[in-house]
Structure 1
């Protein structure tokens, strides 16, 4: 660290030694044995290679392509258009009923207002015409008055 050794060496420190804690090995739980049906074990096949070696293994069935499904008789687009038309008709019917309800409600409110006007107007007429004949009050006689040049002649 100091090649010329002219400088004093730095203070020596005590080293801290850390010992790792050993990891306990995991206890392997054996898998339960599943009984195998005799018909499900594939047959063992042996093949002799040209150099004389024998390779033994299980026979693997070749991959079979999945059968192609026949196209449906009616396309999905046609079904979607038909369902959209049915939904549109249902909405139009609901809107027709809604507008009919609003028109009937408007007519009912108009009739109530007219009935209230007739009843209230009749009550006012009765009050006006009965007040002058039955109740006592001040009688004012109005004579013909002549107004000439901003002067009242009564």
Structure 2
């Protein structure tokens, strides 16, 4: 709003209108009636300054019983069992690699043995032996019409 011109030489302050904001209704929690096995006793206490206070005696809240926890947590047991299983698998893998290495060495030695045995057999066949064989001395041999004349 704009201020109106002053009638007596003074400018009027602008008028500010405040609108109220309605409060939201908050529902209160329903009261649950507590069934007591007995009516609490009324106590009266005299304070040091002479005032008298009267009211119901309230028993202190009892803590809930503590649930006994197991000595070892289930997570720790699972981790330990996993470690034992992993150790067993690793031992098996070490045995497996050892077995593969031994098998490879055996195959290697069998190949060498076969080469030595068959190589010796072939060498004997090629070079021949002097036992029981026929020795032919060829000197000044004449070949005529593919026939040998010695």
TM-score normalised by structure 1 residue count: 0.41
